[in-house]
Amino acid sequence: MNKDNLLDYLPHILLLGPGPSSVAPSTYHALSQPTLGHLDTYLYGIMDEVKAGLRELFGTQNELTIATSGTGSSGMEAAFTNVVEPGDKVLVLANGFFATRMTEVAGRLGAKVTQFESPWGEALPVDQVAEQLGSENYDIVAMVQAETSTGVLNPAGEIGALLKDYGALFIIDAVTSLGGLPLQADEWGADVVYSCSQKGLACPPGLAPITFSARALAKYKGRKNKVPNWYLDAGLLAQYWGGEKRVYHHTISANLVYGLYQAVYNILAEGTQNAFARQWAAHEYLVRELYKLGLEMLVAEGQRLPMLNAVKVPAGADEAAIRARLRQEHHIEIGAGLGPLAGQIFRIGLMGHNARPEVVDKLITALKAVL
């Protein structure tokens, strides 16, 4: 190894991409606390508080509300692997990159997947979804509430209302929305909702909050075969995260649990409605300032996410060069487009701790210098 410790030279980067987002100082402090063993009773108490706080943010009373060890992708994997069996008919409502990943995961589990295609950059059309639901009896319907690849806010509540006339389980990807937008899992009839720690919660990556309804657990318990993924088996995780006598499953990172605890605590202490209002105010301020620079938004007003802003790259501009200059000269990171939007948009994240006017001001000043 190099004799110089590279950690002594870490740059301080303002993370304004699609995630991770910048970590709140109080959460950094929580992460630095003494490590406890994964079977320590004091850690169990912190885990219990995490579960209670996540129930508030998810809008649920579900008993099995926990966090898997892994990024948001582990949450997606856990959601599907526990309730999908070979031959299940799964409908994925796709209008972006991460919905298509749902299709990939469900297909690998042997499901018969139908991918409902909707244009990237536009919210899912509820009337057309209703027609699709009437054309086939699906076992599971899955969608992304906050499509990070496009900056679109999808109508999860309206689609949940449609599904009440059917027997299908409802899976929602809330990777970008948790902590920044209202979630009403119980009211919407959602059966599995998953997220991540590193976006709206302003915590480092490494844990994936997830909640399972009673219907989802009934599907799990009625499986013909064991869950094909031992590490993400909901029943095994439930025995570690709860119950009178905890059963060892894996060595969870106590320090990541501290960070998640503090991140959830911060939002609840601020008040969820206040946090959501701050998120929207920062987004609206950013949009106004971007318009002053002559920049355009990809997504129509009324369908936009407040925490992920898809901005069209100006004609003739080198988007990679612009992002590189922001990083090198101004210590700001923003994201690039994915899939068919590669090279066409910037993805600017204003999540969690970063949803503040002074952060917008810093970005706008930098953009003026590099555009």
Which pLDDT value is given to residue 244? 80
For domain 6-21+271-370, the question of CATH label 3.40.50.880 is answered with no
Residue 137 burial (C-beta neighbours within 10 Å; 0-12, 13-18, 19+): exposed
Which pLDDT value is given to residue 83? 98
CATH of span 25-268? 3.40.640.10
DSSP-derived secondary structure letter, 297:
B
DSSP conformation letters of 60-101: ---SEEEEEES-HHHHHHHHHHHH--TT-EEEEEESSHHHHH
Residues in the chain: 371
Cα atoms in the Cβ-side hemisphere of radius 13 Å centred on 145: 29
CATH 3.40.640.10 spans which residues of the chain? Answer: 25-268
Residue 105 CA: distances (Å) to CA of 77, 89, 244: 7, 13, 34
Are the beta carbons of 307 and 180 closer than 8 angstroms? yes
Which pLDDT value is given to residue 213? 98
Identify which of 129, 159, 137 has the alpha carbon closest to the alpha carbon of residue 87. 137
With vertex at residue 279, the alpha carbon angle to CA 276 and CA 284, rounded to the nearest 5 degrees, is 125
Encoding tokens for residue 232? 């993400």
Are the beta carbons of 328 and 294 closer than 8 angstroms? no
Are the beta carbons of 91 and 142 closer than 8 angstroms? yes
Distance CA 103, CA 236 (A): 25
CATH 3.90.1150.10 spans which residues of the chain? Answer: 6-21+271-370
Distance CA 132, CA 224 (A): 28
Distance CA 188, CA 158 (A): 8
Spacing of C-alpha 308 from chain mean position: 11
158: left (phi over 0), alpha (psi -120 to 50) or beta: alpha
Residue whose entry in the numeric block shows the structure tokens 């000269």 = 329
pLDDT of the chain along its 371 residues, tens only? 889 999 999 999 999 999 999 999 999 999 999 999 999 999 999 999 999 999 999 999 999 999 999 999 999 999 999 999 999 999 999 999 999 999 999 999 999 999 999 999 999 999 999 999 999 999 999 999 999 999 999 999 999 999 998 999 999 999 999 999 999 999 999 999 999 999 999 999 999 999 999 999 999 999 999 999 999 999 999 999 997 889 999 999 999 999 999 999 999 999 999 999 999 999 999 999 999 999 999 999 999 999 999 999 999 999 999 999 999 999 999 999 999 999 999 999 999 999 999 999 999 999 999 99
Residue whose entry in the numeric block shows the structure tokens 């059309």 = 125
With vertex at residue 121, the alpha carbon angle to CA 113 and CA 75, rounded to the nearest 5 degrees, is 50
Which pLDDT value is given to residue 134? 94
Cα atoms in the Cβ-side hemisphere of radius 13 Å centred on 124: 28
Distance CA 90, CA 140 (A): 5
Residue whose entry in the numeric block shows the structure tokens 């689609």 = 159
Which pLDDT value is given to residue 243? 79
Helix (H) or strand (E) holding 236: helix 234-241
